[in-house]
Copies of this chain bind each other. A is one copy, B any other.
Amino acid sequence: MCELLGMNANTPTDVMFSVTGLARRATEHQDGFGIAFFEGRGLRHFIDPVSALESPVAQMVQRYPIKSTNVIAHIRKATQGRVALENSHPFVRELWGRYWVFAHNGDLKDFSPRLHGAFRPVGDTDSERVFCWLMQELAKAHASVPTIAELTRTLAELLPQPARHGTFNLLLSNGVALWAHGTTKLHWVQRRHPFGAARLADEDLSLDFRATTSPDDRVVIVATAPLTRDEPWAAFAPGELRVFADGAPAG
C-alpha cells in the first residue's frame, strides 16, 4: 500500500509541513516518491523511484518552498508493476488543454477496461491503467471542459466500476479542483480562520499556522491517515467521493 497526500487551497500555499509528515512514513514505502504542484495552469512534476528519505529530488522539493493551490503527492510501496520511473505516481495527462494529475492507493485486481481512446499507460501499473480509462471516459462524456459539478457527477458514475475490483483510494486534480475517493482509508481536514498550531503525528514537529496565514486563507488537506495529532480529521466513508475547490468542499 502507498500513502497519498492532496492539498487544495484558495491561495498559493506552502505544503512542505505536510510533505515532511508524509516523508516520515517513507521507511515503509521505499519504492517511489512523487509530487505534482499546479501553478495556475502550469505543473511541476517530480518523481523518483527511490525512497523519499534518499531522493535528491525529494530533498530539493522540501528545501524549495513552492507555493501552490493544488498539490498531489504519493509515496509508493509497489504492489503491481516493477519499481521503475514510469511506474511512479502521480501520473499526468493533458485533457481539454488542462493537465490532470492522478495518484492511487490500493490494488485493483483484473480491472482491464478496453482502452480505445487517446490515453494509454506508459508503465505497467493497475493505477496508470485506471487513470487512462478515467481520462478516456471523461473525454467521451464531455465535448469540452465541463464545470466542477458536472465532472463530479461523471466521476460519481465512473468510479464504482473500478472500485468493485479492489482498493481504490485516489486523488485527482486539474489544477482547479481536487477530487478524492476513498474505499478503505482516506481522511481530510480543513484549515481556516482562526488558525491554530498543529503537531505532526509521526515526529516531534509542530507549526503555528497563524504565522503564515491571513484570515481569508482556506486549505484542505487529504491524506491516507491523519498527518497531525491535534486537528479534526474526518474519515471518508467506503465509496465516498468528495470534491474540494478554493480550499473548501465544493459541488
Interface residues of A in 87-105 (CB under 8 A from B): 87-88, 92-99
Q: How far is the CA of A118 from the CA of B63 in the complex (A)?
A: 37
What residues on B are CB-neighbors of A43 within 8 Å?
85-86
A47 interface residue (CB < 8 Å to B): yes
| Interface of A: prevailing SS | mixed
Q: Which of B39, B84, B94, B98 contacts A93 (CB 8 A)?
A: B94
A56 with B63: CB separation less than 8 A: yes
The count of chain A contact residues (Cβ–Cβ below 8 Å) is 37
Q: How far is the CB of A157 from chain B (nearest CB, A)?
A: 22
Q: Which residue of B lies closest to A96 (CB)?
A: B120
Identical chains bound together, number: 2
Query: Known contacts being A93-B94, A94-B93, is A122 close to B57, with CB within 8 Å?
Result: no
Cα A60 to Cα B56 with chains together (Å): 8
Find the residue from A39, A86, A88 having the highest chain B CB count within 10 A.
A86
Interchain CA distance A41-B48 in the complex, whole Å:
14
Q: Complex: how many Å from CA A64 to CA B40?
A: 28
Is A209 part of the contact surface with B, judged by Cβ < 8 Å? no
Is A45 at the interface (CB under 8 A from chain B)? yes
User: Which residue of the partner chain B has the closest CB to A121?
Assistant: B97
Q: Which residues of B contact A120 (CB under 8 A)?
A: 94-97
Verify if A123 is at the interface (C-beta below 8 Å from B). Answer: yes
Between-chain CB contacts (< 8 Å), 14 pairs:
A41-B85, A42-B47, A42-B49, A42-B85, A42-B86, A42-B87, A43-B85, A56-B63, A56-B64, A60-B60, A92-B92, A93-B94, A96-B120, A118-B119
Binding site for B on A (CB under 8 A): 39-49, 56-57, 60, 63-64, 84-88, 92-99, 117-123, 139
Closest 3 CB pairs of A and B: A42-B85, A118-B118, A42-B86
